[in-house]
Amino acid sequence: MNLSKIAQISVRAKDLQRATAFYRDTLELKIIVSTPVISIAECGGVFLLISKAETPELDHPSSVIYFDVDDIQKTTADLSSRNVKIDDKPHIVGQLGNQDVWVAIFRDSEDNLVGLISRTPRK
């Protein structure tokens, strides 16, 4: 298991349009995806995911660090074998070009959400 590269960081927005404008116009980040439910900025190889909370539990001013992994299934199995509870099992959340984007979520020792992300060629 190699968790040495951060792939993306997620920030919550109460008002997605306002937040997107802030990151795009004020911080001058390049927005590469902008939809009614999500915006993504590219920051030197790390993606900044800006979105509204999907559930009330996730609606808080914090970030989720996503580690880039080659094999999300193997990594979640490795973590599970270390008694890490996987809250959100690996699943496809979208596509970037010709790749499927997979995500899994677990919690650290302090109950913070931590993510894994993997991109695989679409079949």
pLDDT value for 26:
84
pLDDT value for 110:
63
Q: What is the pLDDT along the chain (123 residues), one digit of tens a residue?
A: 778 888 889 888 888 898 899 889 887 889 999 999 899 999 888 998 988 877 777 776 677 888 899 999 999 999 999 889 999 999 999 988 899 999 999 888 767 788 999 999 987
Ordered domains of the chain (ranges, CATH): 6-121 (3.10.180.10)
What residue has token string 């349009």? 17
For the segment 76-109, what is each residue's pLDDT rounded down to a tens digit?
Answer: 999 999 889 999 999 999 988 899 999 999 888 7
Number of other CB atoms surrounding residue 96 within 10 Å: 13
pLDDT value for 61:
66
Specify the pTM.
Answer: 0.67
Measured CA to CA, the distance from residue 66 to residue 10 in angstroms comes to 8
